[in-house]
Amino acid sequence: MKHEDKVFALIDVNNCYVSCERVFNPSLNRKPVIVLSNNDGCAVARSQEAKDLGIKMAVPLFQIQELVHKHNIIVLSSNYALYAEMSRRFMQILSTFVSEHEQEVYSIDECFLDLSRYPQNYDLSNYAQQMRKRIFKWIGLPCCVGIGRSKTEAKMANHIAKKNPHFNGVCNLVEMDPLVTESIFQSIDVAEVWGVGRKHSKKLQSMGINTVFDLAISQPQVLGKQFSVVMQRTVLELQGISCIEIEHTPPSKQQIVASRSFGQRITELNELKEALSMYVQDATQRLRDEKLLCGCIVVFVQSNPFDANIPFYNKSCSYALPQPTDNAVELVKLSIGLLDQIFKEGIQYKKCGVILTGLEPKSTHTYDLLTDMSIIKESDDLMDALEAVQQKFGKKKIAVGPCFIPGRSWSMCRDKLSKNYFKWDELLVIMK
């Protein structure tokens, strides 16, 4: 198949986190609602009503307190367990429209579909409307669909569908009159293009490239030289030449990061150790879920970068393991050792974290000749036992090192957390 014949769709849940909350709490409908990031720091999701009030993406809560009071904006902590379950169902419904290798789960609320096989047999706009209807009917989430000849075009189409209600949730650039496409592209800021961020859009504007249309008629190679091959691909994709394929099986992870800002500043080494040992176990859990081993561990600590009066302290330390592992006891012990090396007295710490890298599949790892396999076996048995206890009695019943101590000053703020309606003891109560 020639690349010209490719067709992609991007389906994206509108205001995802707010929409998830509204499914279980209809009193939020038609009201301005925002959902906050971890630690109740920034607004990471806004309902349309909140956007209309001028609340920007990722703005810190303290900067909009006045607006919040004035307009009775409803403020919620983020409830990732809930959103993850809704996301799983959203993706599952979309999987009924294509075959397995034609679907790519791109993010928690976005999904690419390769529809290249379908134009002959389906009216794609109609097919997309069926997707929207089924998703809304089955799980109550509103979404938009963009269709284009490349992923970047599909993203653009999705953006157009979202901003223009008369499209009724579906924008199909493949079928659109090129003159109409052109005039729409002329009206959209180049910063809206997928892959063009703040820095690049500034530079593009300084070169006289202000709109999506300007970028689409640029010369890919010239921009490739001035930016990078990424920008070159973006231009080609906007011209309808697909350069980025669907990834139906997620590529295996390069690294696993677990970090958090603290609710309050920390100065004591012991408290940092408590936090870090928790994060390491979170990372190790994800490592084991992916059936990977970790060959290198990085620990970092930071003070508050926004504090203008005090110099920013940002230090990390890494260690390459002689033998890759997925053992939480070992990883906690090592990371505490690394923390000892980078800890400095008198700093007000705001954040710490761990990065597991040098990852490789556990199934294909070859141990060297001198490895005592009985030790590996013991480690596996221990981790299995640990996980079995957690599964049966809850995540916080057993752990490695000093963690899960309630009431710590550094623990995350989540004051306005909704329930996880998918758990037995938090189900929605209709009537009592």
Q: Which residues bind DNA (CB under 7 A)?
A: 37-39, 41-42, 44, 58, 60-62, 106-110, 155, 193-201, 228-230, 251, 253-261, 265, 282, 286, 304, 306-307, 350-351, 353, 412
* Pick 389 or 413: Cβ nearer DNA: 413
* Pick 61 or 382: Cβ nearer DNA: 61
* Pick 123 or 247: Cβ nearer DNA: 247
- The least distance separating DNA from the CB of residue 429, rounded to whole angstroms, comes to 30
* Pick 83 or 213: Cβ nearer DNA: 83
- The least distance separating DNA from the CB of residue 415, rounded to whole angstroms, comes to 13
* Pick 321 or 376: Cβ nearer DNA: 321
State the DSSP string of 281-336.
HHHHHHHHHTTEEEEEEEEEEEE-TT-SSSPPPEEEEEEEEEEEE--HHHHHHHHH
Residue located via tokens 């290198």: 296
- The least distance separating DNA from the CB of residue 44, rounded to whole angstroms, comes to 5
From 195, 193, 199, 197, select the one nearest 216 (Cα to Cα).
193
- The least distance separating DNA from the CB of residue 60, rounded to whole angstroms, comes to 3
Do 351 and 284 form a contact (C-beta atoms < 8 A)? no
Task: Classify each residue of 245-268 as buried b or exposed e, where b means 16 or more C-beta atoms within 10 Å of its C-beta.
Answer: ebeeeeeeeeebebbbbbeeebee
**Strand, coil or helix: 420:** coil
Do 246 and 112 form a contact (C-beta atoms < 8 A)? yes
User: Phi and psi (nearest 5°) for 352?
Assistant: -145, 165
From 265, 233, 264, 247, select the one nearest 348 (Cα to Cα).
265
> Cα(170)–Cα(124) distance, rounded to whole angstroms?
10
- The least distance separating DNA from the CB of residue 39, rounded to whole angstroms, comes to 5
CA distance readout (Å), 74 to 69, 71, 412, 417? 9, 9, 20, 12
Do 352 and 299 form a contact (C-beta atoms < 8 A)? yes
* Pick 45 or 336: Cβ nearer DNA: 45
- The least distance separating DNA from the CB of residue 164, rounded to whole angstroms, comes to 18
* Pick 212 or 256: Cβ nearer DNA: 256
Task: Give Cβ neighbours of residue 121 (< 8 Å, ≥ 6 apart).
Answer: none
Alpha helix positions (H), 150-216: 151-163, 178-186, 198-206, 212-216
CA distance readout (Å), 171 to 166, 181, 386, 393? 10, 11, 50, 49
> Cα(340)–Cα(186) distance, rounded to whole angstroms?
56
* Pick 42 or 385: Cβ nearer DNA: 42
- The least distance separating DNA from the CB of residue 57, rounded to whole angstroms, comes to 7
* Pick 64 or 400: Cβ nearer DNA: 64
Beta strands at 256-266 and 349-361: parallel, antiparallel or unpaired: antiparallel
Tokens linked to 165: 């209600």
- The least distance separating DNA from the CB of residue 288, rounded to whole angstroms, comes to 13
